[in-house]
């Protein structure tokens, strides 16, 4: 909504939700009933990957886009969920940013898993697995991360993430080019991404081109190749299928490590109980995972997607045909004993939310992670919505709690 349109909409208090991740900053302006009044986007702003001056500029850009001329004095509350939260120091490290924007309302800053969880469910407690540029699994209660696994950043952690996939793709291509690895569709896909239609014909020149493309960019830029891997896997490429299977196992293992042995002090219901719809609020979450095919190219995690042909396949149980060969992504870690999280002392009715591009976009990683988690814990995970919408809902819950249930459903109109 433009500033002129907002001018005639009265003086009702508004809220601002912001999600800052390694790849994108999203901001969302909303009314107390959850009506979306404006959105803004900017490049990523994770303190683990970018300097603070760049982070503040990108936050300001996204917020300015969401406000679009709306007087920031009309804001009653704001919530920012930021990846790399632990790297922020001081009592209010972003105060100068809010002052610059004219934002005078309280701004609550939380770890990004909190707003990702809130975008999938209105429950007060539960588990979330995020696989975007990075990876983290967390137990959320009352708007805080109570327990987490991974989220250590690209250099020493983020197993199975978009960065991890992109790095594995480049390594596979380098291995083929220097004779250590088998042929892979990833060679054409990765080289096409970095060189377009100017891929040199000679292997030595291809090696040089790829090395230069990798080392002239920040390491985190390897995430741009992530979407090429599941696309090649669905087209029948054996190398890509092995990478996808490894990613799935790492993600499921990360989630299991986060929730299997939680102490009762963390899993005990908060006073007042969970909010209605705790099994997966059908608003921001958008429903269960497991449907839809992967559409050939990259699913948003990496820059230029390339078509790799091949039909979409179900990677659920057993082996399936992919261009004549059999593949099984279901093997390791597929079946589990137990009927839900209850076997480890965690209540069996709490929601599990999947977030991040790898687990939101339809594809083999999303399908197989969802299947394995559902088999192990006795419930189908909920797909997260827009994390900025989750942040806006948290702000509404603080300034207009009577509106929070309706607002959560309304905010589901804004997808990631």
pLDDT per position as a tens digit, 286-322: 444 433 333 333 333 334 333 333 333 333 333 333 3
Q: What is the pLDDT of residues 5-53, one digit of tens each?
A: 333 344 558 999 999 988 899 999 999 999 999 999 999 887 777 788 8
Say yes or no: do domains 3-105+388-411 and 126-384 share a fold. Answer: yes
Q: What is the pLDDT of residue 301?
A: 38
Q: List the domain boundaries for the chain.
A: 3-105+388-411, 126-384
Q: What is the pLDDT of residue 96?
A: 87
* Class of domain 3-105+388-411 (CATH, top level): alpha beta
Q: Which of 167, 194, 166, 191 shows the shortest CA–CA distance to 177?
A: 191
Which structure tokens are listed for 171?
């390594």
Helices (H) and strands (E) in the chain, counts: 14, 12
Q: Contact at 8 Å (CB) between 354 and 366?
A: yes
Q: What angle do CA 299, 301, 305 make, to 5 degrees?
A: 55
Q: How confident is the model at residue 204 (pLDDT cuts 50, 70, 90)?
A: very high
183 CB-contact burial (10 Å; exposed 0-12 / middle 13-18 / buried 19+): exposed
User: What is the CATH code of the structural domain delimited by 126-384?
Assistant: 3.30.420.40
Q: Contact at 8 Å (CB) between 12 and 32?
A: yes
What span, in angstroms and rounded, lies between the C-alpha atoms of 373 and 352? Answer: 9
Q: What is the pLDDT of residue 313?
A: 35
Q: What is the pLDDT of residue 91?
A: 64
pTM for the structure as a whole: 0.79
- For range 381-404, the mean pLDDT: 91
Radius of gyration for the chain, computed over Cα atoms and rounded to the nearest angstrom: 22
Q: What is the pLDDT of residue 163?
A: 96
Contacts of 354 (CB under 8 A, 6+ apart): 120, 128, 129, 131, 289, 360, 366, 369, 370, 373, 381, 382, 383, 384
What span, in angstroms and rounded, lies between the C-alpha atoms of 336 and 169? Answer: 30
For the ranges 159-163, 299-303, 365-369, which has the lowest average pLDDT? 299-303
What span, in angstroms and rounded, lies between the C-alpha atoms of 283 and 410? Answer: 7
């Amino acid at each position: 909504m433009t500033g002129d349109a907002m001018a005639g909409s009265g003086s009702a208090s508004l809220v601002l939700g912001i999600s800052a991740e390694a790849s994108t900053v999203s901001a969302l302006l909303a009314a107390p009933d959850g009506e979306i009044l404006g959105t803004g986007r900017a490049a990523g702003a994770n303190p683990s990957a970018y300097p603070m001056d760049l982070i503040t500029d990108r936050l300001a850009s996204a917020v300015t886009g969401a406000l679009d001329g709306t007087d920031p004095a009309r804001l009653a509350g704001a919530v920012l969920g930021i990846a790399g939260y632990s790297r922020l120091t001081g009592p209010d490290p972003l105060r100068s940013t809010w002052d610059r924007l004219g934002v005078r309302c309280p701004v609550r800053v939380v770890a990004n898993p909190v707003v990702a969880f809130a975008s999938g469910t209105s429950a007060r407690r539960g588990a979330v697995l995020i696989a975007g540029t990075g990876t983290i699994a967390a137990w959320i209660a009352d708007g805080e991360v109570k327990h987490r696994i991974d989220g250590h950043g690209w250099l020493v952690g983020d197993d199975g993430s978009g960065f991890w996939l992109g790095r594995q793709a480049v390594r596979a291509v380098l291995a083929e080019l220097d004779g250590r690895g088998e042929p892979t569709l990833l060679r054409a896909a990765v080289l096409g991404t970095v060189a377009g239609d100017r891929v040199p014909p000679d292997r030595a020149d291809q090696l040089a081109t790829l090395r230069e493309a990798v080392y002239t960019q920040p390491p985190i830029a390897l995430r741009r190749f992530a979407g090429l891997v599941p696309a090649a896997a669905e087209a029948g490429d054996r190398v890509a299928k092995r990478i996808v299977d490894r990613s799935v196992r790492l993600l499921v293992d990360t989630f299991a490590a986060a929730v299997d042995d939680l102490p009762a002090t963390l899993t005990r219901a908060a006073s007042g109980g969970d909010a209605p719809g705790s099994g997966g609020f059908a608003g921001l979450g958008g429903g269960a995972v497991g449907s839809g095919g992967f559409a050939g190219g990259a699913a948003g995690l990496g820059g230029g997607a390339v078509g790799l042909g091949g039909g979409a396949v179900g990677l659920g149980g057993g082996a399936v045909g992919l261009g004549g060969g059999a593949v099984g992504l279901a093997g390791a870690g597929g079946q589990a004993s137990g009927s839900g999280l209850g076997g480890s002392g965690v209540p069996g009715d709490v929601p599990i939310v999947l977030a991040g591009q790898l687990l939101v976009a339809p594809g083999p990683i999303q399908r197989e992670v969802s299947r394995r988690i559902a088999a192990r814990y006795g419930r189908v995970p909920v797909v997260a919505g827009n994390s900025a919408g989750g942040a806006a809902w948290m702000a509404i819950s603080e300034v207009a709690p009577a509106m929070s249930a309706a607002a959560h459903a309304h905010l589901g109109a804004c997808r990631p």
